[in-house]
Amino acid sequence: MTFGDAPAPPPTDTVRLRLANPEAYVDLRGPTTCALITDAEKRAIHDRLGPDPLRDGDDPDRAWRRISKSRTTVAALLMDQKVVAGVGNVYRAEILFRHGIDPYRAGKDLTQGEWDAIWADLVLLMREGVRLNRIDTVRPEHTPEAMGRPPRVDDHGGEVYVYRRARMACHVCGTDVRTADLAARNLFWCPGCQTR
């Protein structure tokens, strides 16, 4: 992020590390680990993480082997770093919406086709998020411009379907978006669209 002549804003309390030089800064939030470690320690951390959609060559089948045997909800599995790494709360809510999947479905009830489609979508969305430094998850037909609606106002920026939209009307079906606590984080979903 470039800030030119203006001073960098003070980091918010979720920032774990800031890298800065006179021209620019970047903040790291919510990392798995934030410490100075050796290469061997780094490998050990990677070894206990699931595949990461942002890492080239990571194998979604490693995650599928755990998901397909699990009675845990798919919403909780997506937040479990041992199953799949790096997804986070915004992408878990949005990816389940985009695939019409009920967040309370058990992992073992997902089909491999559904998982492969979720993975492919996570790869696209998360790389786009890194490239643009914001999280956009709405399809072209659901942007503010396409729908003639006002853009979202939120400190996370980006256009989303359900994340932090509790009790607001779903952009697709008009049903009120719901929220609940799941895996220690707020889950958001549309009961009208997410029935699979």
Residues that bind Zn ion (CB under 5 A): 170, 172-173, 175, 190, 192-193
**Whole-number minimum distance, CB 45 to Zn ion, in Å?**
38
Tell me the HSE value of 178 on the side-chain side, using a 13 A CA sphere.
Answer: 13
Distance from C-alpha of 1 to C-alpha of 193, rounded to nearest angstrom: 36
**Whole-number minimum distance, CB 169 to Zn ion, in Å?**
8
Closest CB to Zn ion among residues 136, 176: 176
Closest CB to Zn ion among residues 84, 165: 165
The C-alpha R_g of the chain, in whole angstroms, comes to 18
Closest CB to Zn ion among residues 175, 186: 175
**Whole-number minimum distance, CB 93 to Zn ion, in Å?**
13
Residues with Cβ < 8 Å from 27, sequence gap 6 or more? Answer: 11, 15, 17, 18
Distance from C-alpha of 159 to C-alpha of 135, rounded to nearest angstrom: 7
**Whole-number minimum distance, CB 172 to Zn ion, in Å?**
5
Closest CB to Zn ion among residues 75, 84: 75
